[in-house]
Structures are given as structure tokens and as C-alpha cells.
Structure 1
Amino acid sequence: MAMPSPHSDHWTAADLDHMPDDGLRYEVLNGQLVVNAAPKPKHQWLIQTLFLALQPVVPADMATLLGIGVLIGSDEPVPDLVVVTRPIDMESRGVPAAQVQVAVEVVSKSTTFPDRMVKPVIYASAGIPHYWRFEINPFKGQLPGETLPVLFAYSLGSDGNYEQTHRISAGQPVKVSAPFEFTIETGSLLP
């Protein structure tokens, strides 16, 4: 299948319906089409293990979903994992941002800039209350003795921007209390 051309220089979430099913991940961020290769096993292992760890602690009025688009105007970012309020429209192309309580990204070498700089701004602008970013590779700003993976947890502040609430290194079990209580030890998320 040929790659569709946008009707203008601005891509929309609706354009994603015409993307080929080729194993690549397609997103629309700020009107731009972003294409990423399929994630590596380490990335997928962490996100799958986190998904399983969240199942017993996510409240009954919420659900955890993997790799689904978040509908934000004409944009559609695709976080690695989201925790959303129920009910979920099972026929929708994604979930409305208003239902997303937590957006989670695992930073890969190909997604460093979007996961650290672009997506947090988009998620905060959409009013998503919590953003969790996992660093699984050595990174600039990594503290001495800080063991991977490192979780940066953010909550939406009164000014509409994310404020860091936790920086959790492997080997340090920490209780996160919003939007639900959850004790996480990031080292347990990778073999």
C-alpha cells in the first residue's frame, strides 16, 4: 500500500486510518506525522511488566491499555501505556484525552526528543493529570549511582504544566499515590 499524502502540510488523526499495517508506529504530534520503528524487546518487556503490575492496583473504574492513541484535537499521540477512566468506547480509534489519567512513555533511542520534550507538553496541554517517563538507557543527567530503569513521575500543576513528583531509580521501592496508590520498584520491571 502506498503511503498517503496529507491534504496539506498538516496531518490529522484521521490520516492515520490510511496508514499501512506494516509494524511501524504512526502518530500525529502537533500536526506532524511521526513514524517510529517497532520497539526493542527491553522496551516491550518493561511496558508489559508494568501493565501486569498495575492490574491489581488500578481501581475498578479505570483500565490500563497498551499502545493506543490519545485523541487530542487533530493530534493522536500513542503513549506506550495509558490508565483511563471507564467506560471505554470499544469502537473508537483511540481514547479521548479527558479519560486519560496517566500517560506512560518508555524512552528509546529513536523517541528521546518526543518522549522528553514534545509529548509532555501535548499531554499537559490536554489536561492529562499524570505523566510517567521511564529511562531504560544511560542518559544525560543520570545521577551517579542511579541504576536503570529510572522513572520520572509528573503531576499536572496549577499552572497547567507538569511538576516532577518522583525520580525513582532501580532498587528503591517508592509509593506513588496519584491517581491511585502503587508501590513501584523499577528494577523489577526488567529481567
Structure 2
Amino acid sequence: MAAPTESRAEFSIPPRPDGWTVDEVLALPEDQTSLQRIELVDGALLVSPWPRLEHQRLVRVLTVQLDTGAEPRFEVFPGANLVLGNRGNRLVIPDLVITDEPGLQGVSLTEKQVVLVAEIVSPSTKIQDRILKRAIYAEALIPYYLLVEPGEPIAATLFELQGDDYQPIAKSDKAEIELTRPINATIRLV
């Protein structure tokens, strides 16, 4: 087997001593960032690999089932940019969001447009999904957080914001979770 004649140029993210902004992250070149998911929390970049096919398949399953159960006043988006807070230094990409403003245009949503965020735990993002994102979604006052834990058995928990933290209001049983709010849907996780 012959060795490659050219080395592949790697994308290097330049440091920002004062931290990154949402606009700077959204301006990063797509052709050099397409193999990784880049999020922003308080000026710091969170870089993780794009999800595996099993993860993406589960996102599709959730999207279809939630969209089927949603009233016309809701719209379901997989992998949408979500700008949190008014400081311009938080940009996350939940696995799925539900907005109560269908027909939106642009490159991102804000927390005021989102009623539910969903995260599917991956090996590279489990701390972020279980702790960090849960905390920042609660701080942003997003009413519902759906956390899906792949494994044997697969598990899902729907949390509702009560005060300044999320409390569980529905849990999966036999790879199925029944939602009564913000939409009515039975989600079969397998």
C-alpha cells in the first residue's frame, strides 16, 4: 500500500484569550468543521465527534414519533443550533428540540422559542448531557428536558422544570416512554 503523497491539513481552532462568541463559532468554516460538533459554553468551545450511526438512528426515531404526536403549533428539529442567554456566549446543539413557533427561519433558535430539548447520551458527551447541559437548559428556563440513555435496556426520562431545577415526570418502561406534556406521544425507543 502506498503512503499518501500529501498530508491532510488539519483544522486548528485558534485560541481566543477573551473567549469565543456565538457569531465567531457560527462563522467557522463548514468544510473544516464538518467532522466534529462544536458548541460554546461561557466563551469556551466544547468539541466532540459527530454521533455514530446508532445515535443518529435514535434521533430519527425520536423525531418521527414526537413529530407524529405534536399538534400543529409545535415543530420538531433534530440537531438545531440553540443560542442560550443574552450574553452571546452559549451555543449548543441538542439532539432534538421542539419549538412552539413553527415555520421559523434562520440558523438558530433561542431558549424563548423552545419548549423541549432532548439529548441522547454518548460516550463522549455523557457528562455534558447528564450534568452540564441539564444545568444550562434549566438556567435558560426551557420547560422540558428529555434524556435518553442507550444501553441494555435503553432508558429515557422526561424532566420538567420546577423552580430552578428539573424534576422527573416520566420514565421509560420496557423501552417505551409515555409523554403527556408538552405533547402527547408514546415513544418506542427500540
In 2, Cα distance between the equivalents of 1:149 and 1:30? 32
In 2, Cα distance between the equivalents of 1:148 and 1:20? 39
Q: 1:40-91 CA deviation, whole Å, 9 max, x = no partner? A: 1110010111111122211101100011111113201110000011144312
**Counterpart of 1:107?**
121
**Counterpart of 1:185?**
188
Q: Does the alignment pair 1:149 with 2:161? A: no
TM-score, with length taken from structure 1 = 0.84
Q: What displacement does 1:12 show?
A: 1.8
Q: Is the 8 A contact 2:142 2:161 kept in 1?
A: yes
**Counterpart of 2:27?**
18
In 1, Cα distance between the equivalents of 2:121 and 2:177? 21
Q: Is the 8 A contact 1:84 1:100 kept in 2?
A: yes
Describe the shift of the 1:47–1:76 C-alpha distance in structure 2 as closer, same or farther (beyond 3 A): same
Q: Is the 8 A contact 2:156 2:177 kept in 1?
A: no
1:80 to 95, 111, 131: 95
In 2, Cα distance between the equivalents of 1:26 and 1:55? 26
**Counterpart of 2:172?**
168
1:59 to 65, 71, 75: 71
**Counterpart of 2:17?**
8
**Counterpart of 1:38?**
50
Amino acid at match of 1:37: P
1:47 to 59, 81, 95: 59
In 1, Cα distance between the equivalents of 2:132 and 2:29? 25
Q: What displacement does 1:6 show?
A: 5.1
Q: What displacement does 1:14 show?
A: 1.2
In 1, Cα distance between the equivalents of 2:42 and 2:169? 26
Alignment RMSD: 1.8
In 1, Cα distance between the equivalents of 2:15 and 2:72? 40
Q: Is the 8 A contact 1:82 1:102 kept in 2?
A: yes
In 1, Cα distance between the equivalents of 2:113 and 2:121? 23
Question: Quick one: percent identity of the two aligned structures?
Answer: 26
In 1, Cα distance between the equivalents of 2:157 and 2:138? 15
Q: Is the 8 A contact 1:82 1:100 kept in 2?
A: yes
Q: Does the alignment pair 1:96 with 2:99? A: no
Q: 1:151-182 CA deviation, whole Å, 9 max, x = no partner? A: 0110000x2210011221434x4421110111
Which secondary structure state, in structure 1, belongs to the residue aligned with residue 133 of structure 2?
A: helix
TM-score, with length taken from structure 2 = 0.84
Rg (Cα) greater in structure: 2
Q: What displacement does 1:2 show?
A: 4.9
